[in-house]
């Protein structure tokens, strides 16, 4: 008989691992406390978008994949803990209650000597300090425990679970041996490390380094903006044929991992706070605020005031490519507070995000074509392929936005400016072009009114 694996926690990490294991021939028992999640998965319908996962669940649920509120008694050979480890919004301290509860559940439902794998992102020392005592309380010394961090990117998880090296750190030699044997059935290569804590710090190092890299690109953008420079030109010229590591382009940094893991690393440092990690996170969290305030200022410059302005926001998920519907760490959540304070009505569009979610965040859903004809301005937040494919002349009507703030610079800037629309981006604020006369609009010598200032225009939602 094949190996039976229990996965405790069917969020993004647990869901993708379940699908990947089932695809490799494992029998997987998933456990989650959410009735809605279980109901959806029982029908073969994953509650989270990830390419390939739905197809696996649709064909394997009830056969190789089983889901319930808890693991079956004394059944699994391996139990993987993949529950969330949220960070408090105020204190930024990680909450490990889910981790402890999952460890207790595993100890109660599994046999001693079951290999337990910690997959959740945790502070250094948490596997030994939080998980191990729960297992030993039930099993004594018959504990096999490894930490093997999840390191995939959304949109490529099923491929990366197989192709990326799996880092495995064990409680002892027997645990490490069992962990390596298990992951050899999934991944192409294994990287054994000396212990639980090393593996924990590997995960934090991966994500915090990414946060640092992006923050430097954002730092350049903010400085370039102050001097009227184009940060992309600066970064391109910096990188051309230069042998040291490339600089990253500026951009928003969100998602479930990068928005919280730096705080878990800071917590791991104890009394000696890191010099860089907190500052990088602070800068990346400031960027959406800066953009929101810049957009408000540009609306005031264009209209005389911001109250009552209509702003079309394209891209509500935290990133556009690889495509996702994940709203964790999305920049729009921060920006909406800025826009609400300025009295701005926000129209929302995202190919991956439902209208209900847009409404939950305070937006009014709008179709992509109406976004360019029913708004005073357009703000593009993520780089979904649908936005990269926009042909500017085809989406414009007689009434036009006063400016487009293209965070990722995915539109044709020349086409936007040729239409008399101001174009801007992260750290990039060139002046407005001379507005050409457009048939059906104001005569030459007067300003072209925007749709938001015309009380006869009604909103049309998608």
User: Is domain 195-462 in CATH 3.40.50.720, yes or no?
Assistant: yes
User: What is the structure's pLDDT at 439?
Assistant: 41
User: What is the structure's pLDDT at 433?
Assistant: 85
pLDDT tens across the length of the chain (462 residues): 589 999 999 999 999 999 999 999 999 999 999 999 999 999 999 999 999 999 999 999 999 999 999 999 999 999 999 999 999 999 999 999 999 999 999 999 999 999 999 999 999 999 999 999 999 999 999 999 999 999 999 999 999 999 999 999 999 999 999 999 999 999 999 999 999 999 999 999 999 999 999 999 999 999 999 999 999 999 999 999 999 889 999 999 999 889 999 999 999 999 998 999 999 999 999 999 999 999 999 999 999 999 999 999 999 999 999 999 999 999 999 999 999 999 999 999 999 999 999 999 999 999 998 999 999 999 999 999 999 999 999 999 888 999 999 999 999 999 999 999 999 999 999 998 875 544 433 333 333 333 333 322 223 222
User: Is domain 4-194 in CATH 3.40.50.720, yes or no?
Assistant: yes
User: What is the structure's pLDDT at 436?
Assistant: 54
- Give the per-residue SS3 of the chain: CCCEEEEECCCHHHHHHHHHHHHCCCEEEEECCCHHHHHHHHCCCCCCCCCCHHHHHHHHECCCEEEECCCCCCCCCEEEECCCCCECCCCCCECCHHHHHHHHHHHHHCCCCCEEEECCCCCCCHHHHHHHHHHHHHHCCCCEEEECCCCCCCCCHHHHHHHCCEEEEECCHHHHHHHHHHHCCCCCCEEEECCHHHHHHHHHHHHHHHHHHHHHHHHHHHHHHHCCCCHHHHHHHHHCCCCCCCCCCCCCCCHHHHCCHHHHHHHHCCCCCCCCHHHHHHHHHHHHHHHHHHHHHHHHHHHCCCCCCEEEEECCCCCCCCCCCCCCCCHHHHHHHHHHHCCCEEEEECCCCCHHHHHHCCCEECCHHHHCCCCCEEEECCCCHHHHCCCHHHHCCCCCCCEEEECCCCCCHHHHHHCCCEEEECCECCCCCCCCCCCCCCCCCCCCCCHHHCCCCCCCCC
The segment(s) of the chain belonging to CATH 3.40.50.720 are 4-194, 195-462
- Model-level pTM greater than 0.85? yes
């Amino acid at each position: 008989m094949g190996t039976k694996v229990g996965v405790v926690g069917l969020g993004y990490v647990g869901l993708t691992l379940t699908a990947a294991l089932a695809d490799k021939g494992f029998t997987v028992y998933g456990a989650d406390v959410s009735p809605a999640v279980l109901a959806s998965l029982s029908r073969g319908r994953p509650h989270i978008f990830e390419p390939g996962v739905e197809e696996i669940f649709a064909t394997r649920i009830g056969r190789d994949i089983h889901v319930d509120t808890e693991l079956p008694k004394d059944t699994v050979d391996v139990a993987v803990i993949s529950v969330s480890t949220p960070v408090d919004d105020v204190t930024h301290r990680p909450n490990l209650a889910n981790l402890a509860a999952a460890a207790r559940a595993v100890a109660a439902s599994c046999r001693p000597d079951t290999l337990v794998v910690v997959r959740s992102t945790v502070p250094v020392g948490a596997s030994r300090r939080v998980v191990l005592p729960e297992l030993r309380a039930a099993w004594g010394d018959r504990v096999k425990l490894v930490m093997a961090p999840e390191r995939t990117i959304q949109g490529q998880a099923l491929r990366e679970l197989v192709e990326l090296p799996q880092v495995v750190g064990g409680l002892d030699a027997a645990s490490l041996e069992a962990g390596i044997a298990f992951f050899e059935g999934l991944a192409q290569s294994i990287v054994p490390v000396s212990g639980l804590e090393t593996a924990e710090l590997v995960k934090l190092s991966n994500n915090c380094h990414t946060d640092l890299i992006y923050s430097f690109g954002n730092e350049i953008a903010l400085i370039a903006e102050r001097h009227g420079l184009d940060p992309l030109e600066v970064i391109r010229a910096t990188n051309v044929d230069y042998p040291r590591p490339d600089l990253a382009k500026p951009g928003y940094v969100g998602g479930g991992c990068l928005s919280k893991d730096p705080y878990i690393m800071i917590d791991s440092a104890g009394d000696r706070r890191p010099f860089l990690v907190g500052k990088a996170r602070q800068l990346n969290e400031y960027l959406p605020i800066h953009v929101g305030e810049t957009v408000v200022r540009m609306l005031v410059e264009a209209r005389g005031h911001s109250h009552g302005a209509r702003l079309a926001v394209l891209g509500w998920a935290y990133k556009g490519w690889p495509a996702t519907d994940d709203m964790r760490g999305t920049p729009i959540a921060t920006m909406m507070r800025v826009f609400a304070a300025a009295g701005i009505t926000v129209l929302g569009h995202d190919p991956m995000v439902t209208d209900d979610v847009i409404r939950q965040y305070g937006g009014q859903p709008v179709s992509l074509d109406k976004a360019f004809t029913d708004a005073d301005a357009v703000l593009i937040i993520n780089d979904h392929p649908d936005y990269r494919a926009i042909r500017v002349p085809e989406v414009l009507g007689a009434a036009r936005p006063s400016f487009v703030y293209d965070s990722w610079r995915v539109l044709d800037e020349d086409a936007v400016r040729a239409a008399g629309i101001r174009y801007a981006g992260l750290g990039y604020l060139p002046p407005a072009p001379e507005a050409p006369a457009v048939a059906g609009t104001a005569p030459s010598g007067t300003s072209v009114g925007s749709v938001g200032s015309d009380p006869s225009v009604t909103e049309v939602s998608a």
